[in-house]
């Protein structure tokens, strides 16, 4: 009996640590997305739905952390792509095939 209780306590400890790590990773991803969105906004090429995805991720943070992480990663990727798009379009020239 004591062994079962001890094993259950150890298992709960590991589950709790994993949940804390997941929450920390989600917070870091959201913070990174906010930073990249701000940088993309400065370029004037921020995509129209990126901020909405981050806002949804923040709303789902406590109730559905896995879905929130998915949305936060999408927002982060879109913000980085928007910045790349701004750099690519900075010196755009017409290309003609002769």
Whether 3 is covered by a domain: the verdict is no
Q: Does 49 fall in a domain?
A: yes
**Residue 84 maps to a domain:** yes
State the pTM of this model: 0.75
Which distant-in-sequence residues (6+ apart) come within 8 Å of 89 by Cβ?
Answer: 45
With pLDDT > 90 as the criterion, what percentage of the chain qualifies?
A: 63
Mean pLDDT of the chain: 86
Residues 34-72 pLDDT 10s: 999 999 999 999 999 999 999 999 999 999 999 999 999
Number of domains in the chain: 1
Interaxial angle between packed helices 2-43 and 65-90, expressed in degrees from 0 to 180 and rounded to the nearest 10: 20
pLDDT on residue 19:
67
- SS3 letters for the chain? CHHHHHHHHHHHHHHHHHHHHHHHHHHHHHHHHHHHHHHHHHHCCCCCCHHHHHHHHHHHCCCCHHHHHHHHHHHHHHHHHHHHHHHHHHCCCCCCCC
Q: Could you tell me if residue 36 is inside a domain?
A: yes
In a domain, 16, yes or no: no
Q: 93 pLDDT exceeds 90?
A: no
Structural domain of residue 84, as residue ranges? 22-89
Flag whether 48 is in a domain.
Answer: yes
Domain assignment present for 43: yes
């Amino acid at each position: 009996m004591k062994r079962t209780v001890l094993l259950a306590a150890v298992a709960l400890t590991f589950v709790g640590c994993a949940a804390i790590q997941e929450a920390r990773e989600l917070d870091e991803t959201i913070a990174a997305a906010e930073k990249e969105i701000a940088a993309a906004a400065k370029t004037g090429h921020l995509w129209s739905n990126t901020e909405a995805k981050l806002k949804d991720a923040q709303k789902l943070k406590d109730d559905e952390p896995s879905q929130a992480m998915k949305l936060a990663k999408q927002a982060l990727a879109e913000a980085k792509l928007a910045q790349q798009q701004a750099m690519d379009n900075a010196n755009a020239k017409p290309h003609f095939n002769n």
